[in-house]
Amino acid sequence: MFINDYCIYSKMGIDPDFKKNRQKVGTHNGHDVYGPVEPPNKLGIHGSVVAIDWDICNADGSCIPACPVSLIEWNDTPGNPLSNRKADPAREGDCIFCMACQNVCPVQAIKVTAP
Ligand code: F3S
Ligand code: F3S
Ligand code: ZN
């Protein structure tokens, strides 16, 4: 749906300025985690280079086979109301910036930024 030429659904995706707008609250699998994190309901954003918003990821799973270097893995998130597993950028340092994951995610949960 477009309102004033602006797709309102695009607002539903990951905040492209999450590094400015959020605080780092920890690390996981070698990448940063950006809060707020209040498990199991709020899980934050995992990764800086390959950032995946776990509060938007609904476990569609398309990103995992799409990645040519297989750096995204499942991580169980029991009790989360949206999905009981999330895509985790487990080895974001391996990213070759093909952007397949970002393009394939149906809910725009992924933002890839070259360092
Ligand atoms: Fe989640 Fe999107 Fe991947 S919904 S599993 S980040 S394709
Ligand atoms: Fe893989 Fe996405 Fe990077 S598909 S190579 S993590 S841009
Ligand atoms: Zn993680």
Q: Where are the domains of the chain?
A: 2-112
Specify the CATH number of the domain 2-112: 3.30.70.20
| Ligand 2 atom at minimal distance to the Cα of residue 63 | 4
DSSP letter assigned to residue 12: G
Query: Residue 83 and residue 6: Cα distance in Å, rounded?
Result: 29
Query: Residue 93 and residue 73: Cα distance in Å, rounded?
Result: 14
Which residues does a 6 A CB cutoff place in the pocket of ligand 1?
Answer: 52, 57-63, 87, 104-105, 107, 109-110
In 3-state terms, what secondary structure has residue 26?
A: strand
Is the CB of 67 within 6 Å of ligand 2?
A: yes
pLDDT tens per residue across span 82-108: 999 999 999 999 999 999 999 999 999
CB neighbours of residue 93 within 10 Å: 12
Is the CB of 95 within 6 Å of ligand 2?
A: yes
pLDDT tens per residue across span 56-83: 999 999 999 999 999 999 999 999 999 9
Is the CB of 50 within 6 Å of ligand 2?
A: yes
